[in-house]
A and B are shown apart, each in its own frame.
Chain A
Amino acid sequence: MPIVRVQEADFDAGRELEALTRGRTDVGALASFVGLVRGANGGRAVGGMTLEHYPGMTEAALADICAQALARWNILDALVIHRVGRLSPGDRIVLVGVTSAHRGEAFEACEFIMDYLKTRAPFWKKESTPEGEHWIEARESDDLAANRWKG
């Protein structure tokens, strides 16, 4: 059963991933991804960012993405934790964890979940720079990354 959480608080990646495999002997692979806030973007210094989301739809969209991964790959479980609110450079933003019997399925499903999260889950980033605050524009490269999983 996938675990999906949207929260302001930080997470302990080690503890969350350990919980995914605790008490199980069928897990042979655990792939994970942690996204962090960068202190520069396109040559500009970034002092921090604020993440907005659509409560209700966000959780449903993340659960749907995990369900798609479970249907498509032979994986055992999936976890997504995504933070919202005010974040500073170096802060963790998102954690994805996927367990499977063998590594190939876990690697692929983990990447699929991140690619779909970036193009389908209703989060928006507002960056703070020395010139002021501005909303980050969606990138075409993220659409291309998501589209390669089609078909």
Chain B
Amino acid sequence: MVTLLYFASLRERLGCSREQVPLPGAAATVSSLIEQLRDRDARWSEAFAPGQRWRVAVNQRMADLATPVKPGDEIAFFPPVTGG
């Protein structure tokens, strides 16, 4: 299992701030995890459709589609940041 976190507009769009999900098999990556989320329903497939602007962090470090994920990881999805 991994913990998924969603922030800001993405959290509101998905109606979810935190959940636990099983990993999509061995040698999972952010990319394969997203494929799994897209398969849920239209809301998820649209939020993570190609061209949508979102960012991902694995264990609180900025990551990308190729970043490996392993059991126990904390994976956060969010829109481009707007602090300062």
Which residues of A does B touch, CB under 8 Å? 35, 51-54, 56-57, 60, 82, 93-94, 114, 117-126, 135-138
Contact A125 B83 (CB under 8 A): yes
Q: Would A120 and B62 be within 8 Å (CB), given that A54-B78, A114-B84 are in contact? A: yes
Q: A53-B83, A57-B76, A137-B80 are in contact. List 15 more A-B contacts (CB 8 A).
A: A35-B84, A52-B7, A54-B5, A54-B57, A56-B60, A60-B60, A94-B83, A118-B83, A121-B84, A122-B57, A122-B78, A122-B81, A123-B82, A124-B7, A135-B8
Chain A residues contacting B53 (CB-CB under 8 Å) are 138
Contact B79 A135 (CB under 8 A): yes
Number of cross-chain contacts by CB at 8 Å: 71
Which residues of B does A touch, CB under 8 Å? 5, 7-9, 53, 57, 60-62, 76, 78-84
Contact B76 A118 (CB under 8 A): no
In the complex, 17 of the A-B residue pairs with CB atoms within 8 angstroms, ordered by the A residue number, are A35-B84, A51-B83, A52-B7, A54-B78, A57-B60, A57-B61, A82-B83, A82-B84, A93-B84, A114-B84, A118-B84, A121-B83, A121-B84, A122-B7, A124-B78, A125-B82, A138-B82
The listed residue (A57, A60, A123, A137) touching B83 by CB distance below 8 A is A123
CA distance A51 to B81 in the complex (A): 11
How distant is B18 from chain A, measured CB to nearest CB, in Å?
12
Residue of A nearest to B5 (CB): A54
8 smallest CB-CB distances across A and B, nearest first, come from A123-B83, A138-B80, A124-B8, A57-B60, A118-B84, A135-B9, A136-B82, A125-B82
